[in-house]
Structure 1
Amino acid sequence: MKTLLRLILSLTLIAGAEAADWQTARVPDKFDFTGTAWLRAWVKVHDSFFLKHERNLFEESVGVNIRDLTGAHEVWVNGKKIGTGGAFPPAYQSAGSTLFRHKVPVGTLRKGEWNEVAIRMHVPSGPGGFLGDAPFIMNYEQECIFEGEWEFRAGDDYKPGGALTQKPARAAFDSFHESQRVLGRTEQVHGPSLPPKESAAKMNAFDGLKTELVLSDPQIAQPFHFSFDERGRIWVAQTRQYPYPAGLTMLSRDKYYRAVYDKVPAAPPNHVRGADIISVHEDTDGDGVYDKHKVFVDGLNMANAAVRGHGGVWVMHVPYLLFYPDKDGDDVPDGPPVTHLSGFGFEDTHAQANGLVWGPDGWLYGCQGSGTSCRVRRPGLDAPDSPGAHFEGCMVWRYHPETRAFEIFAEGGGNTFGVEFDAQGRVYSGHNGGNTRGWHYIQGGFYLMQGVTPGKFGPPRNPYAFGDLPMMATTDPVVRFTHFGAFADGSAMPPKLAGMLFSIDPLHNEVIASRRMPRGSTFDTKDHGVVVKSSDAAFRPVYIANAPDGSIYVSDMYEFYIAHGQHYQNQIDPTTGRIYRIAGKDAKLETDINLAAKSTEQLIALLGHPNKWHRHTAARLLGERKDPKAAPALKEVIAKDTGLGAFNALWALHQSSGLDDATAVLALKHVNPSVRSWAARLLGDEYGINRNLGLPPARKEAQLLPTNVFDTLVAQAAAEKDAEVRSQFACTARRLADVQAFPLVAAVMGHDEDVNDPYIPLLCWWVFEAHIPSATSEVMEFFKARTLWDEPLVMQQVLPRVVRRFAVDGKRQELLLVAQLLKLAPGKEQATQLLKGFEEAFRGRAMTGLPEELITAMASSGGASLAIRLRQGDASAVREALAIVADAKAKPEDRLLYARSFGEVRSADAVPVLLKAATTDRSVELRKAAFASLGAYDQDSIAAGTLEALPKLPEEARAAALTLLSSRVRWTQALMAELQSGKLSLSLVPGDIADHLRMNRDKAISDAAAKLFPKATTTGYDFKKKLAEVETALTRGAGNPYQGETTFMQRCASCHKLFFKGGNIGPELTTYQRDNLGTMLISIVNPNAEIREGFQFITVETKDGRSIGGFQVDRDNQVTVLRGLDGQDVTLGAQDIKTVQPMGRSLMPEGMLEGLSEQQLRDFFAYLRISHPITK
């Protein structure tokens, strides 16, 4: 026992002596030492560091990040060296200001304990230390910044130790938050890997299939995309630069790895060279082996797809779509590339625009993932500062190489990677979630965005869509995720698998086959099973397509670490990649694959070929050649063929010479439904216009279809038995001029069987939505037809949405249209359906400002709610509504509704109820509404009660109270007396209210306000100097958008909304060109330089003595609606208005950025420039 006590005492003395050798030091900072020294601290990591999720994602993603540590360094965690920067003597080398990420091996950290992080440093001469940011530890989603007190020890006589069970007295960190520190390229960590042939041996194929390795590293690497040219050669986009664009510096990012960079990279050839390669590979002897390899272009930067066509090679080189001319086909660019499109986003490079593929209609298709946004422009056609086509998140787009039209073909989907066309020309893509094999896209569709969480994605782009199309349903338990897929459509595939969707799942290293089953106008899927599975965990299939030889090819990124966050953490190997062939075991590969050498007649003969690649390539070549001799033969195929050849000939004819009227009529009545569907679609392209986002060709208005063609189209729509064809007819109707669109969609809506179809009801509604407000009168005229009101699809699906559209904005003229529709309703059943749409429009909103005509119509329909009876002055309704306002247990939305209503429905009994709610209720929104409604009542008790409560009001409600007090002279005089006497603090009055008081029409009030609130002079204020100062500050470091959000909420959110957060007084910023820093800076620093239309501040004097300031949000010959400084709307009858005075200035004050440090400025602008929401 004595021996044990002596040992414990000895260890205690040693530990105490060691602790005495350590000093405290601040990090980041300089340390005065020469030679070698140590820093150490302890961290208790977040529980998520040990979460078992998708192959140990979180524990595999742990790293200690270091930047700007002078000299050389080593990092140790729990006694284990995890990384080195630079080199220690004798071959000393400084690490410089390089960013280092030192991976923490799995099993190193101890859960619930204090893990030691020790840093050994060496400098030949002092001082040393962290000269920039503090180091930090992070996993996939959480991080802890080691900023603060560390322990420091000079010398090299320390041996790092293990974790502690008790919290140390100092240098202890346990504050974790969602990861947002800027990252960059560092030394890359390669996961476990096998040579190509060994990995290929671990591929297992089922159902009579076999796999063959056709290309591999080092010949190719990172094959994100491949395509086949008309000679059957494979073009590979080797995206080796991923994930960090060369030449850019990350300024900020969010927890989803969506970043803001310091600039937009220049397009080639003036770009910063990167590592990406476009290569072409050829099988010269037809033995199935690629034996000739050539680099077409290298040094690219974020190039992820390439296809050949129209005399050159099209390359998706984000943010640009480039065209490299190569007319002679020698695989050497004829000159520098032509930039056809610009403005694709690269906030998250794993979700950037990608997947180039030629559509059967001659357009070039691509897609965009969930983590990026775009503002697409066409250099040479669109001005550099034009709005462009702005879109946030997932979508499919297309571009016409001849007309230069750009269209967003369909909006929404999963994290879209790749575009697939099936045999009939339908469009598909995959999903990065579970429970589906992907999305079936139709023209102009609005689909469910990948997520609806407000913390990650913004609101729907079209607020009037009133619904979205679903992904393909399945009853199978589909685990995450089906990245992309291709349909088996080739002669080398087993017949029993023909037409099945081959989906790739990179997370589980497999390919799955699924059948499609019609579900109305779209499809469900049923899994057949796994057809290819690798036991090599690094097999990561990322692209799949039908090949010229009749097989299916799959590209393998070949990465042990597959999550994009791991790639941003530099856990990636840019030197690996493989491409496999999947074919039947005994299948004969097609060798007749050089279509470039074939004549027009031979190409036409291939339009019915069993291989999709042959059919589609032949149609494309016929379109490019535009041989006039082809048209008669193609028309004959359309007329006589009933299968594949018919619609492939239709595509070829469209691309080469266009559809004449006779062929269009023939195609619309064709026995093959795909021909009928495509005839309608091509007519819509030819005569209509894109009504989704896009950039049009020269013609911007729809032209009318020839009479005989249109009559045939409408007749066929009325008689059409195929739901999928009817859905395309509705899509086509949306593109046409209203005079033809409405009769066509009427024929579609006549099919009662479509009332619950997954697509058709919404497609029909979107026809009318596209023509509101441009053709509102025509919409109203259309629905005067009595027969429409008896059709289930019209009554249950379309008309309720028409009413909702007219009601949702609350504009008086549109509400009057609702009244007209209610009068048109032939019975109570129809009126009930209309009222459902009306109620949906006002869900969560006050039913105020309703025209008397609408109130009467609603009452006559038998659907008068309490709100309507209140508006009619019903005494019992007044009592019931006041009881609800006073009842703290009533529904909050109901209390808010009726509190606002009493601002228009005046009742003396309302004053005490409203005043109590305004001054004592827990709900700030109810208080604001009550204060706004009290402005309609001229009772001095209101001012007295408000003044008494003012100092105790929450800040959000105080603005509404001050707005109320400044609306009537007597009340304002009482307010000024309290302020002058000192009973009320001047600090209670914000700047915008002070401005309003200084401009009061009563001279005594305005003079007193000028003395109490002297306006700061801006004479001599140098806006240019301030702009320069802010611009310089923004270049000096990185910003934190999460910290910047706090500044936005404090300084901007009372007026402006960004995504889901903020007020509705000033312009919404979500779609504003926030990527244009110059324009945004001017608007903030000098807000009066340009005032957005519709946001000029005005003052209205009423005949009953009120003075109300705000923005005019609605006006007609009967009412004016103002939105006040408190965000509340006030409706004023024209008969009540005395004068309207524009103030000629912006409500936004100058000096918005004053008082912010440089770091706060960087944080603020990092938040303003986010392309997606970052918090809920």
Structure 2
Amino acid sequence: MNVPYARLSTFLIISILISCTTSLQTRRSPVAVAESTFSGGDFDEHIRKSEPCSPEEEMAGFTLHPDFKIELFASEPLIGKPLNMAFDAKGRLWVTQSAEYPAPAKVGQGKDRVTILEDTDNDGKADRFMPVLDTLNIPIGLLPVQDGFLTFSIPNLTRYTDTDGDEKPDQSRRLLGPFEYKDTHGMVNHLTRGFDGWIQACHGFTNLSKVRGTDGDTLEMGSGNTFRFRLDGSRAELFTKGRVNPFGLVYDNWGYLYSPDSHSSPLTQLIRGAEYPHFGRIPEGIGFAPQMKLHEQEATALSGIALPSNKLYPEAYRKSLFIGDVVKCRIYRNSFTFNGSSPVATHEGDLLRSTDPWFRPVDMLEGPDGALYVADFYNRIIGHYEVPLDNLGRDRQRGRIWRITYRGKTDPLARTDWTKAGIDELIKALAVGNLPLRMLVMDQLVNRVGRPAVEPLLAILKKSGAQPDQYVHCLWALHQLNRTGGPALPETVLLRAARHKNPLIRTHALRAMHEAPGAGTSALPMTTPIRNETRYALIKKALTDPSPHVQRVAVESLPDYPTLETVRTLLAYASRIPALDTHLDYTYKLALRTLLRNKPLGNAVAVAKWSEGDRAVLNLPMTGVNEAYAGQFLFQSAQTLTLPKDDQLKLLSHAAKHLPPAERNGLIEFVRAKYATDRSGQFVLFRAVQQATKGPKTGLMASVLGTNALVKDWAVTLANELVALPPGDWSYNLAEFLYLKDHPVLFSGPPQNTNLAKNLRFMGFEQGGYKGVIRSAVFAAPQSLSFTAVQVNGATNIGGGHLVRLVSATDTANVLACTEFVKTNDYRAESVAWDLTNVSGQPVRFEIVDNSSGIVRVGDFRGLASPLLPATSPKDVAEQKRFGLELAGEFGITALEPVLRQTLLDKTQPYYFRLASARALMKLAPETYAATLGEYIEDAKNPETFRKDLATILGDSPGRGSTMQQIQAVMESALKRTKGDVQLELLKSLAASSFGKDLIMAQVYAGTLYTRILVQPGIEDRLLLNMGEKQKEKHKQLTANLSPIDPEREALITSRLTSFTTTPGLPETGKEIFLAHCSACHQIAKEGGLIGPQLDGIGSWGTQSLATKILDPNRNISEAFRVYTIKLKAGDVKTGLFRRDDEQTITYADATGTEFVVSRSDLAEVQASRHTLMPDHFGTVLPEKEFNDLLGYLLSVK
């Protein structure tokens, strides 16, 4: 039975008693596997071992879809290494090229260039090459404009003007800048002219930039953002937030903008104002914007995007997006269809593959002739951080541009020099050219012809039967001309267009209204009357338009009219949004949030009367409003509406952060009454109050410690309840000892690739390679029992599969029912049904047996009188108890000291409880318990990680005078009696204090510690922070003769690579090692954390680069994962990875991925580290065999 992978595979299983049956197996449809000539081997190396091919040899190695033809358009030595391309109105191809990339030249010394390529004889090959500028510094984004061009060159976006027509710029003006360029991955790329005359651009990876237009408004951007700016540099605006490293933009006929990205999603239809996933980013209330396509076989290095629009292509190709993969050396085709206004992409295989691993398709676009042009950054190395920037293997001279046509056909219109065309010829071309050509022609009408074009353009809009594309571009040309010398687009004409019978025209007309100056009153007080009642009425009516595209633009436009009536209009529309139209639904929520962020309107909404249904709709967007009125509204909703618990907790958590201080006590009283018997709810909300104040020692918490009896009483009561929590009726046993930092059994939702209800809960081990048994409480066997299991195996060719079974409570060896699951590498959900007639009424236990490095989780039980799964997951119960233990220390609850002491000393307690107790005790009575911690640290019988964690607690403990002297003495003693990573952790703690700096350097002088410890990652930063002058001099003397790269580390890398070559590791075993050591921070195939980079496609790094990164992670650091040493005014020193910030706080993540929040008011100093958060101890932690297995697994992840 063949069942598509994207659907839930469901089977009815009838098990035989006292035996274990195997469920029926589902099969995925066969997926074409790349031939060995296109993958593996050299394709997996970050530094290709093969030698370069000539352009002719490279072309001979292309495999192209049979409908297409490829030819060489240009190559070295006539061009360099191409980055971005753009066509001008003469049909010529402009190209930015860089020999500097990826390391920028010094200021003023750039030698990179822009060249114009022209095919004068129309044979498909460039035969004229005109150098334009050769003093640039990694130029990427490029756009030819009237009398010149725009380009980004470090660090500015500049307009160059040619005043004498010789194709050489003789004037230049900075439009925007300087942009940050600490990371040269993408920077400002793909300058793209929009219908509305704005220029769109991608911001690229990592950099944090602040730029402004001549209007003075500052635009702040982080990694992955997109923005738009006026051609004259008068204004720049953020278009989208989030994503990671977008490199490519393309419009479709509807005016939607598409873009690829390397980590968030391969393809995205950008929604203006939307927020997309990024490393560590938490969405603001309404969540992240929807995806267009899940990450599948693509590497995390996608560049360039093209959408054919010429009628030369069959419709199937005009509904396909092409993107380049510079790691896998191919171009993908993804078709897409619309669910309402929402695009859904489907991978249709490869348009082009290459046998040459140097092929690097960094950019792609459709030309005015209908051909696809591909920029090939032909190179042995494409990786940025995977290979040192100055590696001599990077090619600096070879580059190619390929031209792909559909069956060799091209559009003769492209041969026209549109800079010499008259108005009639230009307007006629708007009806017949492809989209790139129409954009060029429209630019000529607006920026060359200007006002004389107004009447001819209006004539097209006034006549009946105008071709839709021509009509749309005439409309937009007039819209743009409105800004150049007075009104050009009469209101009556625009309104008529908005009522046109063609939905494409109606959609663009509404967009033009949204863009038109004075369209609404968003910049005016809420009480200002609507300026254009006719437009307002028309936009509201468009919410009932038969076209979902028209409806979506209407929703997007309504925030231009910020009144209560607009809010009520949108609320009335909510029920008409189809469930599958995800982009319309997000646009709707975004529109409401925008309206609610208007302070006068938001305040009015907060005090207005609403039906329960309308208030329920307003709640979600209101959680994205960080104002007092939002807190008041949401608190009222939580008090008056009947809501699911999770929804109510979300509202109360946001209210806790933003209610005025005088009103917070009311929320606390409500919560304590409402959740009097619900410790879980109180836990969530108390922590929300704590997090809202940005740490236990700042803001509200600082004031309540001594003055707010209500909060103190809540903390005491809650802590007593939480520390007394029983372990629960469900238990677990692991197959082998693991040092656990938290409880491993949790609830999760269903996998994305199933059609199971999203509110279902499944219990099982957390992702991380756990193997063992999870066992339920005793219950009476029913007549029958049905449930659903979701599972995936880390390895399918070794060990047993996952299974679930029912055992007798009086004799667990007596298996009453059992189902073993077929091993699979893909997530699968299976329905299981057991006939238990013969054992009905007997006391039994349900067991989940996890036999592999994957997962198996169970839920959706049917046939029981009462729920089998607990109300709260075991992991959450344990987290609540741990919080209670730590709360005792935060609030000085001395009455709990005996409980804390007993927990710390009880070796049967989980280590995470013992650590929490140690942390609390060192706040309650550090002088009493410092020695106890020291004894545990020195005792080599304790797990090493436990000793390291205690060393951190000891070093972070407060103390003054004699107490501090006691702690220092304990640490000095432990330093002499420990070694390895435990000693390193002690050194990190010591390095933060003046005493510790002196002690460490004294030990180095005495020869007790190696000199290189002074530059050890995690130690050097703390040592240097706040050093005195004498200490600095000592440090300088001690480190003067250290080599930049540790020879021992280099020897280790060489040794491990030699071993791996001789004895390659087992990928199956390596996956388990990855899950145990790496998955907390790194994600593969949607599993794992996102503290560090996503590792899909990591196998292409190659053995040398991967081994170096694992064993010497600080040799090449991505700025996106730079570690910071943070010193607080109270004297505490922390280390973390920057996550996000706001006006009051900065959020960091520590080495375990746990986030911590620092108030800006508490900061004394922040220092960027030369080291990454990734531990650099894998050379000692992983024995040679385990390292080989891990390397083998990572190399297999393609």
TM-score (norm 1): 0.58
Q: Does 1:323 align with 2:133?
A: no
The match for 1:500 is 320
Q: Deviations over 1:599-657 (max 9, x none)?
A: 23332332222422221112222222473343344345446547212322232122111
CA contact (8 A) 1:730 1:744 kept: no
Residue type of the alignment partner of 1:313: F
Report the residue type matching 1:191 in the other structure: E
Separation of aligned partners in 1, 2:262 and 2:967: 60
Question: 1:18-417 alignment to 2 at 5 Å?
Answer: 55-56=40-41, 60=45, 191-196=51-56, 198-203=57-62, 205-247=64-106, 266=107, 271-274=108-111, 276-286=112-122, 288-335=124-171, 337-370=172-205, 372-378=206-212, 389-392=220-223, 394-413=224-243, 415-417=245-247
Highest CA radius of gyration, 1 or 2?
Answer: 1
**Equivalent in the alignment of 1:84:** none
Residue 648 of structure 2 corresponds to residue 835 of structure 1? yes
Amino acid at match of 2:179: F
User: Secondary structure at the residue paired with 1:759?
Assistant: helix
Residue of structure 1 in register with 2:1146 after alignment: 1068
- 1:680, distance to aligned residue in structure 2 (A): 4.2
Aligned 8 A contact 1:822 1:857 in 2: no
Name 2:666's counterpart in structure 1: 853
Q: Could you tell me whether the CA contact under 8 Å between 2:147 and 2:162 is conserved in 1? A: yes
**Is residue 530–residue 561 contact of structure 2 (8 Å, CA) maintained in 1?**
no
Q: Note closer, same or farther for the CA distance 1:340–1:514 as it changes in structure 2 (3 Å cut).
A: same
Taking a change above 3 Å as real, the CA distance of residues 1059 and 634 of structure 1, as seen in their structure-2 partners, is farther
After superposition, what is the alpha-carbon deviation per residue over 1:44-99, rounded to whole angstroms, capped at 9, x for unaligned? xxxxxxx999543598557xxxxxxxxxxxxxxxxxxxxxxxxxxxxxxxxxxxxx
- The alpha carbon displacement at 1:295 in A equals 0.6
Change (3 A) 1:702 1:530: farther
**Structure-2-length-normalised TM-score:** 0.57
**Structure 1 CA distance for aligned equivalents of residues 291 and 270 of structure 2:** 9
Q: C-alpha separation between the residues in 2 aligned to 1:704 and 1:1034?
A: 74
* Residues 1:1048 and 1:225: Cα distance change in structure 2 (over 3 Å): closer
Tell me the alpha carbon deviations over residues 886-914 of structure 1, each in whole angstroms, 9 at most, x when there is no partner: 99987342024445677999999656446
What is the Cα deviation at residue 227 of structure 1?
A: 1.2
1:163-204 CA distances to partner (integer Å, 9 max, x unpaired)?
xxxxxxxxxxxxxxxxxxxxxxxxxxx8231244x5445555
Q: Distance in 2 between matches of 1:541 and 1:981?
A: 61
Partner of 1:167: none
Amino acid at match of 2:574: G
- Equivalent AA in structure 1 for residue 274 of structure 2: G
Q: 1:1166 aligns with which of 1170, 1185, 1196?
A: 1170
Quote how far apart the aligned CAs of 1:363 are.
1.7
Decide whether aligned partners of structure 1 residues 243 and 906 sit closer, same or farther in structure 2, where only a CA change above 3 A counts: closer
2:398 pairs with one of 559, 571, 576: 576
Measured after TM superposition, the shift of residue 760 of structure 1 is: 3.8
In the TM superposition, what is the alpha-carbon distance from 1:1035 to its structure 2 partner?
Answer: 16
Residue 853 of structure 1 aligns to a residue whose secondary structure is: helix
RMSD of aligned residue pairs (Cα, Å): 5.9
- Where 2:337 maps in the other structure, the secondary structure is strand
Residue identity (%): 20
Residue 645, structure 1, aligned to residue 645, structure 2:
no
| Deviation of 1:309 (Å) | 0.8
Q: What one-letter code is carried by the residue in structure 1 that aligns with 2:173?
A: V
Partner Cα separation in structure 2 for residue 500 and residue 387 of structure 1 = 37
Deviation digits for residues 350-406 of structure 1, max 9, x if unmatched? 433222222222122221333x31314248776xxx9862412x2322221225222
Would you say the 8 A contact 2:142–2:151 is kept in 1? yes
Q: Deviations over 1:1102-1128 (max 9, x none)?
A: xxxxxxxxx6xxxxxxxxxxxxxxxxx
| Cα distance between partner residues in 2 of 1:931 and 1:202 | 64
Question: What displacement does 1:540 show?
Answer: 3.3
TM-superposed CA distance for 1:302, in Å, is 0.7
Summarize the Cα distance change of 1:493–1:347 in structure 2 as closer, same or farther, 3 Å threshold: same
Q: In terms of mean alpha carbon deviation, does 664-673 or 650-659 score higher?
A: 664-673
CA contact (8 A) 1:687 1:702 kept: no
CA displacement at 1:883 relative to structure 2: 1.1
**Residues 944 and 570 from structure 1, CA distance in 2 versus in 1: closer, same or farther, beyond 3 angstroms?**
closer
Q: Is contact 1:822–1:858 with CA below 8 Å preserved after alignment?
A: no
**Aligned CA distance change for structure 1 residues 914 and 650 (closer, same or farther; 3 Å):** farther
Tell me the residue number matched to 1:865.
678
User: 1:558-577 alignment to 2 at 5 Å?
Assistant: 558-559=378-379, 561-564=381-384, 565=386, 568=389, 569-577=391-399
The residue type equivalent to 1:342 in the other structure is G
The code of the aligned residue for 1:369 comes to: G
Q: 1:610-625 alignment to 2 at 5 Å?
A: 610-625=433-448
After the TM superposition, which of the residue ranges 308-317 and 496-505 deviates more from structure 2? 496-505
For each residue in 1:854-882, what CA deviation from the matched residue of structure 2 results, as whole angstroms up to 9, or x when unmatched? 24545777896226679998999887434
Distance 1:685 1:952, change over 3 A: farther
Separation in structure 2 between the aligned mates of residue 618 and residue 731 of structure 1, nearest angstrom: 28
Q: 1:301 to 1:589 in 2, by over 3 A?
A: same
* Secondary structure of 1:542's aligned partner: strand
Q: Distance in 2 between matches of 1:756 and 1:857?
A: 38
> In the superposition, relative to structure 1, how do residues 904 and 729 fare at CA in structure 2: closer, same or farther (>3 Å)?
farther
1:278 Cα deviation (Å)? 0.9
Q: How does 1:881-1030 map to 2 (within 5 A)?
A: 881-884=722-725, 891-899=877-885, 912-913=898-899, 954=950, 957=953, 962=958
Instruction: Please point out which of 790, 807, 822 is paired with 2:613.
Output: 790
Letter in 2 for 1:884: L
Find the counterpart in structure 2 of residue 13 from structure 1.
Answer: none
**1:130 corresponds to:** none
CA–CA distance in 2 between the matches of 1:532 and 1:982? Answer: 65
Offset at residue 229 of structure 1 (A)? 0.8
Q: Tell me the CA shift for residue 1060 of structure 1.
A: 5.1
- Distance across 2 between alignment mates of 1:1047 and 1:550: 47
Structure 1 residues 868 and 443 mapped into 2: Cα distance closer, same or farther (>3 Å)?
A: closer
Q: Deviations over 1:212-247 (max 9, x none)?
A: 333232222322222111111111222232222223
For 2:129 and 2:969, how far apart are their aligned partners in 1? Answer: 88
CA deviation profile, 1:503-543 (whole Å, cap 9, x unmatched): 33444554444421113432122345544455555443322
1:821 maps to what in 2?
637
Alpha-carbon separation, structure 2, partners of 1:353 and 1:521:
29
Cα deviation, 1:424-445, whole Å, max 9, x if unaligned, reads: 22211224469x7522212122
Counterpart for residue 743 of structure 1: 567
Match of 1:490 among 306, 310, 320: 310
Pairwise CA distance, 1:842: 11
Alignment of 1:413-492 (within 5 A): 413=243, 415-432=245-262, 438-449=267-278, 457=279, 459-460=280-281, 464-465=284-285, 467-473=287-293, 483-492=303-312
Counterpart amino acid of residue 724 in structure 2 = A
Gaps spanning 5+ residues in structure 1: where?
1-50, 63-102, 106-189, 248-265, 450-456, 967-971, 996-1019, 1072-1091, 1097-1110, 1112-1145, 1154-1163
Distance 1:842 1:778, change over 3 A: closer
> Is the contact between residue 156 and residue 175 of structure 2 (CA under 8 Å) also seen in structure 1?
yes
Q: Is the 8 A contact 1:919 1:949 kept in 2?
A: no
SS at match of 2:364: strand
**Aligned with residue 587 of structure 1, among 385, 394, 409:** 409
Contact 1:322 1:339 in 2 (8 A): yes
Structure 2 residue matching 1:620: 3-state secondary structure: helix
For 2:139, give the aligned amino acid. A
